[in-house]
């Protein structure tokens, strides 16, 4: 065989190998987001962000020559549906990992499925109980409510506000927040003088707030996700209550400001940095990636990227990094996720260990305030 023939055979073999690589089956990633229903303000940006980043990964050639295939189902915020769809993703769609669900209640319901079927699940929800205690197959990208409570309490301690009233929604997110608000209070020298709840579908909280008005508290902390907190903000304004009002990170998006209107002015809450990315100092290690995410989301969807969408962006990138490190099965992806060190994402810098599947520290939060219908950093 002469040199030209050898060269031709070698070139043909190379082309065939390349074609085989790019023809390899895609890596299927499942996603459970509340795209419709009351929690759509969470699920819609999560779905949009996941699609956006996976499209960009695939346009750049995929990961190790393989495309990522995203299979999204809308849970509408329903825990029963989340369980059914998680099972469908695993049994029918054969995914190697699941991103979501959007809410704590849905996630807690879906966890037994992921654990039983040995499929890594990266939740976009904040409840501390999702990863505390650690579950082998469950991780999360949303900042823990334990850290959020600590951020508020640090500020109250600094400003010598020692008596608080708490008003929490009666769902998984609210229950987890309430537990943290009560358990951490004494650590910061804070007394909970009033403790009340409201239903996820309640449209008026004046009864609870009237009670709070008589409690002599120095701060009110509302823990919930839209639309309830916006109702609370409006009711506080209508009742003429001047006590400072704090919210949870569960409303950290422009949607809350839209829903609460003028009543949002002056409200403070712990948030991921993405909503104030342009206000961060130049030395902040996250600033560059945060601004890129905000710009990218604006380009694709003509809207501001928020930290809810960032939870899904982080989850996709964590899986991508696992695949880049050679993982293409559920078990291998799980193992690689647990080895993640100092991944600079939208929600913060992630480091997972066998003892920590939440991965973030309190530096993932900044305290923000609504001023002139926008977010500013509280100094």
**Looking at the structure, do residues 357 and 373 belong to the same domain, yes or no?**
no
**Looking at the structure, do residues 259 and 151 belong to the same domain, yes or no?**
yes
In a domain, 210, yes or no: yes
Closest by CA to 97, choosing from 48, 49, 137, 50, is 137
Quick: pLDDT tens for 91-147: 999 999 999 999 999 999 999 999 999 999 999 999 999 999 999 999 999 999 999
**Looking at the structure, do residues 301 and 341 belong to the same domain, yes or no?**
yes
In a domain, 6, yes or no: no
Quick: pLDDT tens for 168-198: 999 989 999 999 999 999 999 999 999 999 9
Closest by CA to 160, choosing from 270, 265, 266, 244, is 244
Give the pLDDT of residue 81. 98
The answer to whether 141 and 31 have CB atoms below 8 angstroms apart is no
Q: Where are the beta strands (DSSP E) in 75-142?
A: 97-99, 121-123, 138-140
Residue 365 sits at φ, ψ, to 5 deg, of: -110, 145
**Looking at the structure, do residues 177 and 268 belong to the same domain, yes or no?**
yes
Phi-psi category of 196—alpha, beta or left, where left has phi over 0 and alpha has psi -120 to 50?
beta
Quick: pLDDT tens for 20-51: 444 589 999 999 999 999 899 999 999 999 99
The token pair that represents 225 in the structure block: 């996700």
In a domain, 19, yes or no: no
**Looking at the structure, do residues 63 and 112 belong to the same domain, yes or no?**
yes
Instruction: Please give the C-alpha separations between residue 363 and each of 240, 269, 284, 309, 367, in angstroms, as whole numbers.
Output: 34, 14, 11, 19, 11
In this structure, what CATH number is given to the domain that contains residue 107?
A: 3.40.50.2300
**Looking at the structure, do residues 124 and 221 belong to the same domain, yes or no?**
no
| DSSP H/E element including 196 | strand 191-198
Closest by CA to 313, choosing from 33, 43, 34, 53, is 53
Helix residue ranges, H only, 214-325:
228-238, 254-260, 287-301, 307-324
**Looking at the structure, do residues 266 and 316 belong to the same domain, yes or no?**
no
In a domain, 12, yes or no: no
Structural domain that includes position 42: 26-143+287-362
Q: What is the pTM of this model?
A: 0.86
CA atoms within 13 A on the CB side of 119: 27
**Looking at the structure, do residues 107 and 203 belong to the same domain, yes or no?**
no
Q: What confidence tier does 295 reach under pLDDT thresholds 50, 70, 90?
A: very high
Q: Is the pLDDT of residue 7 over 60?
A: no
**Looking at the structure, do residues 134 and 151 belong to the same domain, yes or no?**
no
In a domain, 5, yes or no: no
In a domain, 71, yes or no: yes
- Residue 354 has a CB neighbour count (10 Å cut-off) of 9
Please give the mean pLDDT across all residues of the chain.
93
Closest by CA to 66, choosing from 32, 28, 122, is 28
**Looking at the structure, do residues 196 and 264 belong to the same domain, yes or no?**
yes
The answer to whether 70 and 131 have CB atoms below 8 angstroms apart is no
Provide the b/e sequence for 285-323 (b: ≥16 CB within 10 Å): ebbebbeebbebbeeebeebbbbbbbbbbbbbbbbbbbb
**Looking at the structure, do residues 206 and 106 belong to the same domain, yes or no?**
no
**Looking at the structure, do residues 205 and 139 belong to the same domain, yes or no?**
no
The token pair that represents 77 in the structure block: 């915020």
Beta-strand relationship, 349-350 and 343-344: antiparallel
């Amino acid at each position: 065989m002469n040199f030209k023939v050898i060269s031709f055979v070698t070139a043909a073999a190379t082309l065939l190998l390349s074609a085989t690589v790019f023809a390899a089956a895609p890596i299927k990633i499942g996603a459970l987001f509340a795209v419709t229903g009351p929690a759509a303000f969470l699920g819609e940006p999560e779905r949009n962000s996941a699609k956006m980043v996976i499209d960009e990964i695939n346009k750049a050639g995929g990961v190790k020559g393989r495309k990522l295939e995203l299979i999204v189902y809308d849970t509408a915020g329903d825990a029963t549906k989340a369980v059914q769809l998680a099972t469908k993703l695993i049994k029918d769609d054969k995914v190697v990992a699941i991103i979501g669900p959007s809410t704590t209640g849905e996630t807690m319901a879906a966890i037994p499925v992921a654990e039983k079927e040995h499929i890594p699940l990266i939740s976009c929800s904040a409840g501390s109980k999702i990863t505390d205690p650690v579950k082998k197959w469950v991780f999360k990208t949303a900042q823990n409510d334990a850290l959020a409570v600590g951020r508020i309490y640090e500020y109250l301690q600094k400003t010598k506000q020692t008596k608080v009233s708490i008003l929490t929604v009666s769902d998984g997110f609210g229950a987890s927040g309430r537990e943290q608000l009560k358990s951490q209070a004494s650590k910061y020298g804070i007394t909970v003088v009033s403790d009340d709840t409201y239903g996820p579908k309640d449209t008026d909280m004046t009864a609870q707030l009237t009670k709070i008005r008589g409690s002599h508290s120095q701060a009110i902390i509302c823990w919930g996700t839209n639309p309830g907190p916006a109702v609370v903000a409006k009711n506080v304004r209508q009742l003429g209550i001047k006590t400072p009002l704090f919210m949870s990170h569960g409303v950290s998006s422009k949607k809350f400001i839209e829903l609460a209107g003028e009543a949002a002015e002056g409200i403070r809450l712990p948030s991921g940095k993405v909503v104030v990315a342009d206000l961060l100092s130049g030395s902040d290690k996250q600033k560059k990636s945060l601004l890129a995410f905000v710009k990218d989301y604006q380009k694709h969807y003509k809207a501001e990227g928020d930290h809810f969408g960032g939870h899904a962006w982080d989850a996709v990138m964590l899986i991508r990094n696992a695949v880049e490190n050679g993982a293409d099965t559920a078990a291998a992806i799980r193992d690689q996720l647990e080895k993640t060190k100092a991944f600079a994402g939208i929600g913060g810098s992630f480091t997972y260990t066998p003892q920590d599947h939440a991965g973030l520290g309190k530096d993932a939060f900044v305290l923000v305030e609504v001023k002139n219908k926008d977010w500013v950093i509280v100094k």
